[in-house]
Structure 1
Amino acid sequence: MSKTHSPQTITCKAAVAWGPGEPLSIEEVELAPPQPMEVRIKVISTSLCRSDITFWESRGHIPIFPRIFGHEATGIIESVGEGVTDLHEGDHILTVFTGECKKCRHCKSDKSNMCETLRMERKGLMQSDQKTRFSINGKPIYHFCAVSSFSEYTVLHSGCAIKLSPNVPLGKISVLGCGVAAGLGAAWKVADVGKGSTVVIFGLGTVGLAVAQGAKLRGASRIIGVDINPDKFEMGKVFGITEFINPNDYKQPTQEVIKDITAGGTDYSFECVGDVGVIRTALESCCDGWGMAVIIGVPSGQMELSAHYGPLLSGRTLKGTLLGGWKPKSELPMLIDMYMKKEIQIDEYVTHELPFSDINKAYQLMREGKCLRCVIHVGN
């Protein structure tokens, strides 16, 4: 790693994706200094999320390459841009893919976390000036989810950086920057799961298991997990899953199986797969009158949802959420405190830890369904 005096352009190593599905290549990249309201951080640890796979494969999404993926990370601020007052050089931070400006209509409302300034970045450019901070020989390297943490250093908006106390370990807590927070928030903030309720969760990856943990802590009496990978079932018990359904074991539609065993449907259902067909199944699996289906998964293929109006007319609700509805800078510190007090599980979602040089192995493990979250150690 070599760099000139901050806040000048520096050079560092990054895992660059040159095309859809192509192995990542460790390259030396140039990283511009932080612009107004931005920070440049030294990445310590980053974890691989299913979205990193989805957009890397580019199935159903516009391919944007060359690109640096990664958005769940911890790091140390190396330099700050003009106007940043709440963060300083040396601060430890957790990154998030959707920020909080605290000034727009959504940030001021208690009904939304969809910041108008820092919503999920989709074009591979910094939202402040529609340019990239990464380049190789003067050619732009595109960002991902406003973070791009598969790099020794990265630049992000200060509204996407959550300050951590120096005593918080900068390792496994990186998974709180997306997947775990999304699942807990879906159960607590979006659905507001009640004591004694019945819940069904489609997809037992990190997000689905975080929903299970959230439902368990809220006192749900039945938490049904649905997944075609039987290896997920034992892991599910750790987080509160009480019953399991493998759709491949039944001839009838999954929603009918669920209605049969719950006498009419569940109180809540959560779609954590990213499949429009499963979204419809989730909606049809909850009960009439008050049943709520919550969409959390990011689709990797077909984007258009088709559903019969009947379930909605009968009183069911279909809701979607990003980051579990949390306002990141205002509310995620609460989850960090709960983690430090051992009131919520986070470390248990990390099934593998690898050095930065083995990042392609992490991709392989997740694609094969052999890990929940793999933490990649980038810096010291």
Structure 2
Amino acid sequence: MDGWQRRYRLSNGPGGLGVSCTAEGLALAGVPLLAKGAGGFQARPVAEVSVLLKRAYAGIGPHAAVLPSLVKIADALNRGDLVQAMIRAVHLRLPELDWDAAVRLARANDNLAKYSPDQPRDWHGRWADGEGGEREAGGPVEAKPAASSGREAATKPKKRDADIPKAQALPPVSTASDFAIPANPYHAPPVFRFADDIEQANNSLWQESLAPLSQPNAPRCLETGEKVREHGATVVARQDGALEFQNKDGKGVTCRDFRPDLQVKDPTHYSLLGTTHTHPYDDGRVGVSFSGGDTQVLLDNPINFSLVQSGDKQFMFLKTKQTRRSDSYENVIKYQDDRVKYLMDELGYPSDTANRIANVEAAKNYGLAYYEGDHGVLRRIYPEVR
């Protein structure tokens, strides 16, 4: 088995040093491999990509197969088919970089860009126009390996003043009217921001989920053998539109399946909106989103959205007027749980990528809008925001 015969995966999380593919484009260790203009995504020039990959992999690598695939990934993103783009991105078979290789790649990209050192960038590290907007295609792009790679700060390239990201304004806090059911997924809001008190309450649920891990004698669940428990709550709206939690832990704390209590307390002053719950694991896994059971609860109950928290990552399904009830619980399992298992066991996808693919497919199948984010800010993944 040679050095390239291995299992490949996407690195969509912050600080990833491998290939990432999101609605924002395709990148390797943060360096874009696609350009985006008024006409959508397109592959960067062949000569540029060749230089970048040679620097990243020290002149060795499966470069010939990569270049034509970039065009197909750009086409998939332009069609709004994020799942197909992610699958093709994995099939690029580009191994994750080490820190030194990521630095070489970032420097090569800097040299290609011939950027202005005085130009500001947004909080993602993308070049901005000085007003908080992203630079149009053809403008220079610089990306540096993120600090979370585990290397000491002393080994990082020295920062210039222009390397310090400028603060990006947060979207306004979402209120009850923002969670009203839209006509279809394309009319769903592009972004949601939960108020600080809701975000703090979600974090408290997450900490409660992990609390048994610090208790040596905490009982283990008979079904899973794990100590952790799912915690959650019902999300309601006050008359002024602000959100609150009710019925914390629903119908009882369980090992794996949060069972919400949707009976609103004081219904003259509060209205039912949605649910939130956690997905913890004893082994420390995070970023695990919806199960088929979660989706079935959303489809078959009078709630507008379902929110899941797993570590810092948050996921949300929003109903639309095109959302249909599930045919049966078993069919929802088919579209999600079995699909995730197949993607991981048979195709070798990591759990976060497999879950995202299954979530987007479920959203398409049931007429939902799908969101991902962290720290209370979630952006629409499906349909892609244009």
TM surpasses 0.5: no
Structure whose residues are more often strand by fraction: 1
Q: Give me the TM-score of the superposition, normalised by structure 2.
A: 0.29
Q: Looking at both structures, which has the greater relative contact order when contacts are Cα pairs under 8 Å and sequence separation is at least 6?
A: 1
Radius of gyration: which is bigger? 2
